[in-house]
A and B are shown apart, each in its own frame.
Chain A
Amino acid sequence: MFLIECPWCGMRDETEFSCFGEAHIARPLETEKLSDEEWADYLFMRKNPKGAHREQWLHAAGCRRYFNAERDTVSYQISATYKIGEKPPGGSRK
């Protein structure tokens, strides 16, 4: 069971959080101008990497803030958590 550092509340048990999957998926601004393929890409396609993964968590049983975490999907170690709007540690990655 993970220990997750909520950027607002500090270290808490995994049971207080919900995971919402891949982070940094921006909603397209002019959705009507997208092709069906582009819309599907936003809607469904995911990186799902084996290794470092940036993902969204909600401190559901706490401050109810969403935040991002970078977590290894094999070792499950969380290398960083950061607030929405903050840049991920180590800069952008593809």
Chain B
Amino acid sequence: MSERFRTEQGGRVDREQEIQFTFNGKPYTGLAGDTLCSALLANGVHMIGRSWKYHRPRGVMSAGAEEPNAIFQIEKGNRTIPNARGTQVELYAGLDASSVNCWPSLDFDLLSINSKFSRMMPAGFYYKTFMWPKSMWMKYEHFIRKASGLGEAPRETDPDRYEHTHRHCDVLVVGGGVAGLTAALAAGRAGARVIIADEQSEPGGLTLASKAHIDGIDALQWIENAVAELQEMPEVTLLSRSTVFGYHDYNFLTINQRLSDHLPIAARSGGREKLWQVRARQVVLATGAAERPLTFANNDRPGILLASAVSTYTNRYAVKPGKRAVVYTNNDSAYQSALDLKAAGVEVVAVVDARTDSASELANTVRSTDIQVINGSVVVDTAGHKRLRSVQVMRLSADGSTVSGNVNSMACDLLAVSGGWSPVVHLNAQSGAKPVWDEEASMFRPGETQQAQVSAGAASGRLDLAGCLAEGADAGNQAAKACCFKASMKAPQAEKVDAEATLPLWNAPSPYTRGRGPKAFIDMQNDVGVADIELAVREGFQSVEHVKRYTAMGFGTDQGKLGNINGMGVLAQTMQQSIAATGTTTYRPNYTPISFGSFAGQNLGDRLFDPVRKTAMHAWHEENGAKFEDVGQWKRPWYYPQAGESLHDAVNRECLATRESVGILDASTLGKIEVRGPDAAKFLEMIYTNNWMKLEVGKARYGFMLGEDGMVMDDGVTIRIAEDHFFMHTTTGGAAGVLAWMERWLQTEWPEMEVFLTSVTDHWATAAVVGPKSRDVVAAVCEDIDFGASAFPFMASKTGKIGDVECRVNRISFSGELAYEVNIPANYGRFMWEKLMQAGEKFKITPYGTETMHVLRAEKGYVIVGQDTDGSVTVDDLGLGWALSKTKPDFIGKRSLSRPDTVRKDRKQLVGLLTEDPMTVIPEGAQLVNDPAAAIPLPMVGHVSSSYYSACCGHSIAMALVKGGHHRMGETVYAPLSSGRVIKATITEPVFYDKEGAKPDA
């Protein structure tokens, strides 16, 4: 074995499986079961990165999610991962890790010069400078930005897949430590459907580093048994590498499962991550507790680790995190770390305990070894640049307010610190609880929540193994019972360990004048020290949220998991108030950072949000070279270019062919709603602005719908099929909204009306056959219909057959030509279309798309809702006042039409525009002015909503909304373009073709 800092034996690494990896380009070996950090420590590599602001050398601090320093760029190229926490990166063959935020190298980092000027860069210094000269800020900022950030985003396309799954369960257990396992066993044995999710590579939590016993057997063996039993249970799902990162309302939780990042790249297959969206009837939070560090001058040197992390590295990963260790604590648990180190063969110089006395069994066990226990003392400083060399210890005065006596300097390369424990209350807090400060235990415990949830074990503040087991069993039983299962599992047993109280030590006394000594860090990643918090308070930032924002404390990728409670303690001390009064910042999702890919899942590209809807004739359009336009969810043919044709060439051809002979348009996408029932006509009277009671059966009518604010909302033709049966058309994009809106009126306002609505948009395929020869074409295809001009007049509707299939033909026109819309059940759409094409062949029938449709209707001045209207346009503004019933007492939106603003004479009104040069087409969206020479801001009188070259008219045409436009016929307006060009145009009626309107009646 080539790693110099491996223990002789033990640990959960596989000594048979050596793994090669690189760090900053240099090759190393580790063992299967290692994390990146444990492997680096096994190689004696402590300094792994630089801090964000001062670029101070930093080492591994923890063994878990709270890690602030050990941030790596994993891999290069398309699988690179920025900001990975090395404590949670499982080692695999070929892993390529590099440090972030240092240049040119970790050892020699140019920006470490910041450290020299750190006094110039206290909290919030950037608010006070970089202001002069004003023009320089963007330059300053450029360099600030370059210096910021940690890892690099990938620059290549991600080859991996991300999956989503949705689950329901009776009990979701968060955390697979012994409390969680016990809870899952209790609920699982009761028969409940359980999901237990654990973020590590294997369940067991901190107990994986423990030498304790449960139910008389090795704790590790007990864990193995428990896992085996859970895996046998058909209703239990045990997830590893799965972080519950969000706790939302109604017991909805989100889990990120990492499927393949732990494998060598070549061995990866399937998805990379899976997002579980889980609705749980009961939730057990067994998220454990996290150890806090201690605050003292230069407490950030490589070689200073949490005591529990030291135990994890020695016991679980078989790593000696140093040769010569000092343990510094204010509570009992770190004594175990001293014993663990000693057992691993590390020399332990001393346990420095801030408490004047420590008489627990554990402390006495340590005393019985050769390890010196120094009570009533604190570490006041450390030495060593890229690795810890020594710690300086002084005696605490009796009241704990000062230090005195000689400085006891102890040479060591490892300092294990323990400042007490904080239950991981993140998810509890996310679920709506406020954590409660327990003064006696010096910790925030989970608070009350309205959700069906219980915290168990260390997550609720029970730090001893026996307590965790008892609470886990209880929580599992209770959760199962709440889901109506019989549950009565007895708690597994472990030895009781008595522990003495923790001595809170937020900002321990130091020999340095307050604020003048070396930095004592609270938030390692963001380089926030005690002095920064004190400065914030001095400057008036006294709310914990203000301190957080002013100093950036807790904004790092660890989200303050390591330092925030200490920060609150320091703040409370500085403000001379209690921690309870100081409070916490808000815990928000995500518990740990989660990839964006995991949120996005598979529904990207052409599956983003909406389905793509295609008509029954879509394949035909594709085969015939159509270009498509997205309209709502639909793909509509836009135009059908022939070889060498531009959009405009094609449209000119399509327009002329249609007006001169016959064209055909796929109109299937228009919204179609059947309105049936005895009160159908009465209902339409309210929905539309015009009259519907007297419409004859078999006749169609065009109508506007208004919002209750009086503005045009939708329009279309509706046909009376029978006395109590109407067939409504809506705009393509408006169909779903109109249906929901009409349903709302019917269900909530007029429930007495007997009307039933059915969306039939997808049931019918529709072809609009348009042009002087349209009658010949439809008559050749549709049987059982008399197409005689008087037998089948304009705005009439008839049923017939195409072959054996029933069809409905409506003689309506959106082009001003003789036109028929042929409807057939959608499955026969292509059959109908081809029949029509065949029949039209001798007339050179020309398929056309939405662009030609737009030109044809604009030539007639027909509006498109959403293009010529924008939510601020009334029917009168469109010059279509005839469509407003004068006789109906009411319709939706009517009352709004008499408000002072809606009756203004100078509202923007729809007009036509003719350009001075007939070939000039004003760009759509051009603004119109009366005097283009006026000064900026130039008063605008309107804008161009639709504008085309009309091949049929031989000149350009435009529709515009112009202030008072209805009274400005013949006047001149100007369209100043961004190019500087000004187009002159004359206001006209918005009808350019067949002004008499004779053609559709032909």
The short answer to whether A and B are in direct contact, CB under 8 Å, is: yes
Within 8 A of A (CB), among B197-250: 248-250
Bound complex: CA of A79 vs CA of B915, how far in Å?
A: 63
In this complex, how many residues of chain A approach chain B with their Cβ under 8 Å: the count is 26
- Within the complex, what minimum Cβ distance (angstroms) separates A64 from chain B? 6
Interface residue? B268 (CB, 8 A): no
Mark the stretch among B288-296, B739-747, B945-953 that contacts chain A. B739-747
* Chain A contacts for B740, CB-based, 8 A: 18, 58, 60, 64
Partner of B248, one of A1, A75, A84, A85: A1
The residue that B249 contacts in the complex, of A2, A26, A60, A66, with Cβ under 8 A, is: A2
* B889 at the binding interface (Cβ < 8 Å): yes
Contact call B250/A58, Cβ cutoff below 8 A = no
Task: In the complex, identify which listed stretch (B74-82, B691-699, B890-898) lies at the interface while the others stay far away.
Answer: B890-898
User: Which of A31, A60, A85 meets B894, CB within 8 Å?
Assistant: A31
Nearest residue, chain B, Cβ from A20: B744
Distance (Å) between the CB of B692 and the closest chain A CB? 19
With a CB–CB cut-off of 8 A, which chain A residues contact B749? 26-27
Complex contact B890–A66 (CB within 8 A): no
- Give the distance in Å from the alpha carbon of A2 to the alpha carbon of B252 in the complex: 8
Chain B neighbourhood of A85, CB < 8 A: 751
In the complex, what distance in Å separates the CA atom of A56 from the CA atom of B250?
19
A66 touches B889 (CB 8 A): no
Known A-B contacts A1-B249, A58-B744; A36 and B899 likewise in contact (beta carbons under 8 Å): yes
Q: Contacts A31-B890, A31-B894, A32-B889 given: A64-B743 contact, CB under 8 Å? A: yes
Which one of A39, A76, A77 lies within 8 Å of B899 (CB-CB)? A39
- For B743, the chain A residues whose CB sits under 8 A away are 58, 64, 66
**Chain B residue nearest to A36 in the complex (CB):** B899
B788 at the interface (CB under 8 A from A): no
User: Which residues from chain B contact A66 at a C-beta distance below 8 Å?
Assistant: 743-744, 747-748
Complex Cα gap A58–B890 (Å): 26
Chain A residue with the shortest CB-CB distance to B707: A43
Residue of B248, B249, B749, B900 with most partner-chain A CB within 10 A: B249
Residues of B within 8 A of A77 (CB): 450
Closest residue on chain B to residue A40 by CB atoms: B899
Query: B708 to A43, Cβ gap below 8 A?
Result: yes
Q: Which residues of B contact A34 (CB under 8 A)?
A: 895
Q: Does B709 contact A (CB under 8 A)?
A: yes
CB–CB A39/B896 < 8 A = yes
Is B518 an interface residue when CB atoms closer than 8 A count as contact?
no
Complex CA distance for A58 and B741, rounded to whole angstroms: 11
B963: interface (CB < 8 Å): no
Closest to B432 in A: A75
Q: Are B748 and A75 in contact (CB under 8 A)?
A: no
> In the bound complex, do residue B894 and residue A32 qualify as a contact, i.e. CB atoms below 8 Å apart?
yes
Q: List the A side residues contacting B751 at CB < 8 Å.
A: 84-85
Classify chain B: how many residues form its interface, as a range: 20 to 34
By the criterion CB–CB under 8 Å, are B249 and A76 in contact?
yes
Contacts of B248 in A (CB 8 A): 1
Minimum Cβ distance to chain A for residue B463 (Å): 32
- Given A36-B899, A39-B895, A75-B450, verify A84-B890 contact (CB < 8 Å): no
Q: Which of A1-26 contact B (CB under 8 A)?
A: 1-3, 13, 18, 20, 26
Chain A: which residue is nearest B251 at the CB level?
A: A3
A13–B751 CA distance with the chains assembled, in angstroms: 26
B561 at interface by CB-CB < 8 Å: no
Knowing A32-B889, A66-B743, A77-B450, the reply to whether A1 touches B895 (Cβ < 8 A) is no
- Which residues of the partner chain B approach A56 to less than 8 Å between Cβ atoms? 744, 748
Interface contact B896-A43, CB-CB below 8 Å: yes
**A65 contacts B895, CB within 8 Å?**
no
Residues in A whose Cβ lies below 8 Å from that of B894:
31-32
Q: Are B250 and A2 in contact (CB under 8 A)?
A: yes
Can you name the residue of chain A whose Cβ is closest to the Cβ of B252? A1
Q: Which residue of B lies closest to A58 (CB)?
A: B740
Q: Which of B590-625 contact A (CB under 8 A)?
A: none
Pick the contact of A84 from B450, B747, B889 — CB < 8 Å?
B747
Q: Is the CB–CB distance between A31 and B895 below 8 Å?
A: yes
A3 to B900, CA, bound (A): 44
B887 to chain A, nearest CB (A): 13
Number of A-B contacts (CB under 8 A): 54
Taking each of B250, B252, B890, which has the highest tally of chain A beta carbons within 10 Å of its own beta carbon? B250
Beta-carbon contacts under 8 Å, A24-79 to B: 26-27, 30-32, 34, 36, 39, 43, 56, 58, 60, 64-66, 75-77
Asked whether B279 is an interface residue with its Cβ less than 8 Å from the other chain, the reply is yes
Complex Cα gap A85–B252 (Å): 31
Chain B nearest CB from A59 CB (Å) reads 11
State in angstroms the CA–CA spacing of A39 and B901 once bound together. Answer: 14
B893 smallest CB distance to A (angstroms)? 10
Q: For the complex, what is the distance from the CA of A30 to the CA of B889, rounded to whole Å?
A: 8
B873-900 vs A, CB cutoff 8 Å, 1 = contact: the mask equals 0000000000000000110001110111
Query: Quick one: CB contact mask for B887-926 with A, threshold 8 Å, 1 for yes?
Result: 0011000111011100000000000000000000000000
The residue of chain B having its C-beta at the shortest distance from the C-beta of A26 within the complex is B749
- Distance between Cα atoms of A65 and B757 in the complex (Å): 12
Question: B896: which A residues are within 8 A, CB to CB?
Answer: 39, 43
B248-285 contacts to A, CB under 8 A, are 248-250, 252, 279
Q: Which residues of A contact B249 (CB under 8 A)?
A: 1-2, 76
Docked pose: A49 CA to B899 CA in angstroms: 28
A42 to chain B, nearest CB (A): 8
**Inter-chain contacts of A60 with B (CB < 8 A):** 740
Known: A43-B896, A66-B747, A75-B432. A3 touches B250 (CB 8 A): yes
State how many angstroms separate the Cβ of B713 from the closest Cβ of chain A.
14
Residues 732-774 of chain B, each 1 if its beta carbon lies under 8 Å from chain A, else 0: 0000000010011001110100000000000000000000000
In the complex, how many angstroms separate the beta carbon of B238 from the nearest chain A beta carbon? 25
How far apart are the CA atoms of A2 and B744 in the complex, in Å? 22
Nearest CB in chain A to that of B747: its residue: A66
Contacts of A31 in B (CB 8 A): 890, 894-895
In the complex, A39→B890 CA distance in Å?
Answer: 13
Measured CB to CB, the nearest residue on chain B to A23 is B748
A66 to chain B, nearest CB (A): 5
Tell me which residues across on chain A come within 8 A of B708, comparing CB atoms.
43
Min C-beta distance of B236 to chain A, whole Å? 23
| Residue with the greatest number of chain A CB neighbours at <10 A, chosen from B740, B748, B889, B900 | B748
Bound Cα distance from A65 to B900, whole angstroms: 37
A27, closest chain B residue (CB): B749
Q: Once the chains are docked, how many angstroms separate the CA of A56 from the CA of B745?
A: 12
Closest to B757 in A: A64
Q: How far is the CA of A64 from the CA of B896 in the complex (A)?
A: 29
With contacts A58-B740, A66-B743 known, is A32 near B890, CB below 8 A? yes
How far does the Cβ of A11 sit from chain B's closest Cβ, in whole Å? 10
Contacts of A30 in B (CB 8 A): 889-890
**Bound form: Cα–Cα A30–B744 in Å:** 20
Complex Cα spacing A56 to B709, Å: 19
* A80 to B: closest C-beta gap in Å: 15
C-alpha gap A66/B748 in the complex (Å) = 7
A2 to B889: give the CA distance in the assembly, Å: 42
Q: Can you name the residue of chain B whose Cβ is closest to the Cβ of A60?
A: B740
Tell me the B residues contacting A by CB distance below 8 Å. 248-250, 252, 279, 432, 450, 708-709, 740, 743-744, 747-749, 751, 889-890, 894-896, 898-900
Q: Which residues of A contact B (CB under 8 A)?
A: 1-3, 13, 18, 20, 26-27, 30-32, 34, 36, 39, 43, 56, 58, 60, 64-66, 75-77, 84-85
18 extra interface residue pairs, beta carbon distance < 8 Å, beyond A3-B252, A3-B279, A43-B709: A1-B249, A2-B249, A3-B250, A30-B889, A31-B890, A31-B895, A32-B890, A32-B894, A34-B895, A36-B900, A39-B896, A39-B899, A43-B708, A58-B740, A60-B740, A66-B743, A66-B748, A84-B751
Q: 5 closest Cβ contacts across the A-B interface?
A: A31-B895, A3-B250, A1-B252, A66-B747, A76-B249
Pairs A–B under 8 Å by Cβ, sample size 22: A1-B250, A2-B249, A3-B250, A3-B279, A13-B279, A18-B740, A26-B749, A32-B889, A32-B894, A32-B895, A34-B895, A39-B896, A43-B709, A56-B748, A58-B743, A64-B740, A66-B744, A66-B747, A75-B432, A75-B450, A76-B249, A84-B747
